[in-house]
C-alpha cells in the first residue's frame, strides 16, 4: 500500500528542493511527482510558480526523517502525519465564479419552459437558492430588468442529460407521456444532422475549387513571368 502524498505536492517539493539536500528521486517519491518535475524545479523552470510549503511545520515530515534521507540516498521518506482530506458537504451544486452571473438567466428559462419542475429541483439542477427562484418567478429580483431566459445547458450550468432526466422524471411522476414530441425531436435532429453534413460537404467542395483556381492562377502567373523573362533575355542578346 502506497503512502499518502502531501496536501500540496508541488509546493512541498519546491520547499524540499530549496531547503534540503535530498535527491530528486526521494523528493519525487515522497511527493508523488515525476522526477522530471522535480528536476525542473531545481533548474528554476517551475519553482517560481509555487510558493514553498514547509512539510515539517505541517507535521507531514520531521527534521530527523529529512536527515535520514540526506544521509542515505536510497532511503524512502516516511509520511509522519497524513494530510486531512476535506470532503465537500452536501448542498447546492458548485458553480464556477465565472458562470454564477448566468444563473438567473438559466432559472428564468426553466421557469418558462418547464413550469412543472419544482423549486427544489431547479435549485439542485442549477445550484441556487429557493429565494432566488422565487424572486425571479415573482419578478422581484434586484436585476430582473437584465435577466434573459437562456438554456442552462448552453450556459454550462448543467448537462443536457441532467436536464432531460429531470424533465422525464417530472413528466413520469405527473403521468405525462408524449411520444409524439420525442419522435418529432428525433426527426428534427436527423434533419439537422443532414443539413450540417450538406453544409460541410458544400464548404469542402468550395474550398477544393478555390484551391484549384488559386493553383491555376499561380501556374499561369509563373508561366507569364517565365515568358517575360525569356523575351527580356532575347532582347538583350540581340542588342
* Tens digit of pLDDT at every position of the chain (239 positions): 578 888 888 889 989 998 999 999 999 999 998 988 888 888 876 545 677 889 998 889 999 999 999 999 999 999 888 776 555 555 555 555 556 688 999 999 999 999 999 999 998 888 888 999 999 999 999 999 999 999 988 888 888 888 888 988 888 887 765 544 444 445 555 666 677 677 777 777 777 777 777 777 777 877 787 777 766 666 544 44
Nearest CA among 56, 53, 52, 57 for reference residue 67 = 56
How many helices (H) and strands (E) would you count in the chain? 12, 0
Query: Strand, coil or helix: what is 212?
Result: helix
Tell me the CA distances in angstroms from 118 to 43, 60, 235, one per residue in order: 57, 48, 90
What's residue 238's pLDDT? 47
Please name the residue ranges forming H helices in 9-151: 9-19, 24-31, 35-42, 55-58, 63-71, 97-100, 103-113, 119-122, 130-137
What's residue 184's pLDDT? 47
What's residue 48's pLDDT? 54
CA distance 206 to 202: 6
Its pTM stands at 0.40
Q: CA gyration radius for the chain?
A: 33
Give CA angle at 145 (124, 125), nearest 5°: 10
Contacts of 178 (CB under 8 A, 6+ apart): 171
Joined grid coordinates for residue 177: 407521456
What's residue 239's pLDDT? 46
- HEC string for 111-175: HHHCCCCCHHHHHHHHHCCHHHHHHHHCCCCCCHHHCCCCCHHHHCCCCHHHHHHHHHHHHHHHC
Joined grid coordinates for residue 111: 421557469
What's residue 63's pLDDT? 92
Structural contact between residues 83 and 71, judged by C-beta atoms closer than 8 angstroms: no
Amino acid at each position: 500500500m502506497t503512502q499518502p502524498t502531501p496536501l500540496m505536492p508541488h509546493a512541498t517539493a519546491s520547499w524540499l528542493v530549496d531547503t534540503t539536500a535530498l535527491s530528486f528521486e526521494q523528493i519525487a517519491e515522497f511527493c508523488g511527482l515525476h522526477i522530471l518535475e522535480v528536476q525542473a524545479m531545481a533548474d528554476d523552470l517551475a519553482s517560481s510558480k509555487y510558493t514553498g510549503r514547509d512539510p515539517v511545520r505541517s507535521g507531514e515530515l520531521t527534521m530527523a526523517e529529512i536527515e535520514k534521507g540526506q544521509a542515505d540516498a536510497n532511503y524512502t521518506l516516511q509520511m509522519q502525519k497524513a494530510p486531512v482530506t476535506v470532503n465537500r458537504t452536501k448542498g447546492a451544486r458548485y458553480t464556477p465564479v465565472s458562470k454564477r452571473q448566468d444563473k438567473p438567466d438559466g432559472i428564468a428559462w426553466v421557469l418558462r419552459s418547464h413550469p412543472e419542475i419544482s423549486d427544489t429541483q431547479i435549485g439542485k439542477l442549477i445550484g441556487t437558492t429557493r429565494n432566488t427562484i422565487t424572486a425571479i418567478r415573482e419578478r422581484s429580483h434586484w436585476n430582473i430588468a437584465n435577466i434573459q431566459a437562456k438554456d442552462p445547458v448552453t450556459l454550462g450550468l448543467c448537462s443536457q442529460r441532467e436536464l432531460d432526466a429531470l424533465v422525464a422524471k417530472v413528466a413520469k411522476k405527473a403521468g405525462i407521456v408524449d411520444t409524439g414530441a420525442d419522435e418529432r425531436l428525433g426527426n428534427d435532429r436527423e434533419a439537422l444532422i443532414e443539413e450540417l453534413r450538406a453544409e460541410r460537404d458544400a464548404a469542402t467542395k468550395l474550398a477544393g475549387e478555390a484551391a484549384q483556381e488559386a493553383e491555376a492562377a499561380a501556374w499561369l502567373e509563373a508561366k507569364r513571368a517565365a515568358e517575360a523573362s525569356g523575351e527580356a533575355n532575347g532582347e538583350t542578346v540581340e542588342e
